[in-house]
Structure 1
Amino acid sequence: MYNYVEDGDSPARAHAEGDEAKYDAFMTRIEAGDKIEPDDWMPDDYRQALIKLISMHGMSEIMGALPEKEWVPKAPTLRRKLGIMAKVQDEMGHGQLLLRVAEDLMAPYGKTREDLIEDLLAGRLKFHNVFHMPTKTWADAGMVGWLVDGAAIISQTNMLDASYGPYQRALQRICQEEVFHAQHGESIIMALAEGTDEQRAILQDSLNRWWEALLMFFGPASAETTGSSKQDIMIKYKIRKSSNEELRQAFLDKYLPRVFSLGLTVPDETVHYDDKQERWIYKQPDWARFKDIIANKGPRSQERLTLRTIAYDHNRWVRQALAR
């Protein structure tokens, strides 16, 4: 997403002349664990980091509903159909809630949720790599719920005490609902794992196809890899607590034993736990491919953006009517 602040025209510059005292007071509040509210003074890099994080999170919730939406008419039973419909509805609600939080942050720049949607459709705003991927089988619908939402829970609970109050409060609700989503996905996975040889083969194939995307979920390990200090800014301002690699290791700690207990394997012969380093060793995903995917060059990127564009254009009259 492009930067909403024009050079020299920020409403809340961190180190502008006369703002040093405000910045020091802001950091004192951050260190004390206070929650920053929309009308409070904040440094511009803090505001920008929040806008990028929350808008990407919100759009990922909305775009993330699309892979599972494809399986609503194809779910194997009525119970499964109702479950995945409820999950899709929740994800869309999360997206709307988060975009409202982002909109408050953009208010000083005269920007709205409408601008965020247009950024998404124009390719200026990214959404999560996993939601560019295809859901080819019913096992994929379970994999999204079990492991993708499981990864999201690890990432989001890491920010449950985020310094920005509106986001922290939104995450309280979102994480509670994501737990049910992960349980829904696990239920699908367990049914397939306990099923026929054909069902187990479909499940293993799904895990093989999703493994690299799951490793990519948390992003590259270091700023050197990305050329960005985004992680450092987020930790400095207590928006998040852990680095990308720490979150990935937490995911592996939680889910690899469960994967192996089901008799499944991962498509990486190097995977093992190193007792000396106290961490999982794994083959690094293709980070160049990751950059392509989040630049809307993934397997389903254009198809899902087209669907989102059609919905946006088709419902324009509703927004116009509400604005009158």
Structure 2
Amino acid sequence: MYNYLEYGGSDQPNVPEQDQEKYEQFMARIEAGEKIEPDDWMPEDYRQGLIKLISMHGISEIMGALPEKEWTPKAPTMKRKLGIMAKVQDEMGHGQLLLRVAEDLMKPYGKNRENIMEDLLSGDLKFHNVFHMPTKTWADAGMVGWLVDGAAIISQTNMLDASYGPYQRALQRICQEEVFHAQHGEAIIMALAEGTEYQREILQESLNRWWPALLMFFGPSSADTTGTSKQDTMIKYRIRKSSNEELRQAFLDKYLPRVFSLGLTVPDETIHYDEEQEMWVYQQPDWNEFKQIIKNKGPRSKERLRLREVAYENNRWVREALSPEAIGQ
């Protein structure tokens, strides 16, 4: 079983001496902008780093559909119900697409998509911190679509030129659809912001609850980690371009002016833009809490994992019926 929680990566991978020439050729290819394909030679830390990244991304798309699924039967109008149903369907499709990409990388280890799901249920594979959080009101459905998906777009567009070809091509499609998801969320937010006093109250309350999770979305900066930073390894291999903090700053640049323009506030009296440093200064979230959340100790971790487990077991017969062994009989 691949341990997703322990892989760290290294700036100086331990490449066997007989593979040194292959490694140099590999680095020359990605530095020239070429795409690596599944059957190409790749260093072990590149393959395992991709497995970790893409598996988590795919599982997060699937688990990310669950908070909004809770509001599908409670959406205030038929139009909103149809919108959120379509969004949930898209997210599940993104997850399946990404798990197929991860599965190709896992073949040398004799692993497949079923192993990824088993690793999720056993706790060996984590999913994104925001999807451990509760959705208490309809405003939360809008917040997930507007700011959570907005953060996802910033993170994913940062990898649109990723050196691994199958992931890069999958992201092209996913990012196009995520734009519609963000517009769906923004439409809900605008309706609430222009609504009654109660609607504005639940909108502000929702933003207050989601703000720490949104700051955590991009992960800790290098200064907040111990040991070798995974993000540095991903940048070195041209899977991503920017650091966690650079992505967080891009999110604040884009969304804080929009938040303030709606007359909303964020629960941070210290937040301000430092003209000299050309960056936002803000109160750091509790990174110890973040570590606990992604270890499945968040507010809704157990409930969401249990729902996924029940669905997985209830549909086992479909997987068995479509297995090569069953089809060959």
TM-score (norm 1): 0.96
Counterpart for residue 141 of structure 2: 141
Counterpart for residue 315 of structure 1: 315
RMSD of Structure 2 on Structure 1 (CA) = 1.1
Distance 2:191 2:268 in 1: 25
Alignment of 1:39 with 2:35, yes or no, is no
Answer yes or no: is the 8 Å Cα contact 2:134–2:300 preserved in 1: yes
Counterpart for residue 264 of structure 1: 264
What's the secondary structure of 2:322's corresponding residue? helix
Distance 1:79 1:136 in 2: 21
Shift of residue 254 of structure 1?
A: 0.0
Describe the shift of the 1:113–1:223 C-alpha distance in structure 2 as closer, same or farther (beyond 3 A).
Answer: farther
Counterpart for residue 284 of structure 1: 284
Counterpart for residue 178 of structure 2: 178
Instruction: Map 1:59-98 onto structure 2 (within 5 A).
Output: 59-98=59-98
Distance 1:270 1:54 in 2: 35
What's the secondary structure of 1:19's corresponding residue? helix
Deviation per CA, 1:224-261: give whole Å up to 9, x if none.
52434201100000000000000000000000000000
Describe the shift of the 1:254–1:168 C-alpha distance in structure 2 as closer, same or farther (beyond 3 A).
Answer: same
Deviation per CA, 1:32-55: give whole Å up to 9, x if none.
000000000000000010000000
Counterpart for residue 301 of structure 1: 301
Unaligned runs of 5+ in 1: 5-12
Counterpart for residue 209 of structure 1: 209
Answer yes or no: is the 8 Å Cα contact 2:3–2:124 preserved in 1: no
Which amino acid in structure 1 is aligned with residue 270 of structure 2? T
Distance 2:196 2:3 in 1: 52
Counterpart for residue 240 of structure 1: 240
Answer yes or no: is the 8 Å Cα contact 1:147–1:182 preserved in 2: yes
What's the secondary structure of 1:18's corresponding residue? helix
Instruction: Map 1:126-205 onto structure 2 (within 5 A).
Output: 126-205=126-205
Structure 1 runs (4+) deviating above 4 angstroms are: none
Unaligned runs of 5+ in 2: 5-12
Answer yes or no: is the 8 Å Cα contact 1:218–1:247 preserved in 2: yes
Deviation per CA, 1:168-215: give whole Å up to 9, x if none.
000000000000000000000000000011100000000000000000
Which amino acid in structure 2 is aligned with residue 57 of structure 1? H
Which amino acid in structure 1 is aligned with residue 109 of structure 2? Y
What's the secondary structure of 1:125's corresponding residue? coil
Deviation per CA, 1:121-150: give whole Å up to 9, x if none.
000000000000000000000000000000
Alignment of 1:30 with 2:30, yes or no, is yes
Deviation per CA, 1:88-122: give whole Å up to 9, x if none.
00000000000000000000110000000000000
Distance 2:3 2:66 in 1: 27
Distance 2:224 2:191 in 1: 42
Describe the shift of the 1:67–1:178 C-alpha distance in structure 2 as closer, same or farther (beyond 3 A).
Answer: same
Distance 2:153 2:104 in 1: 24
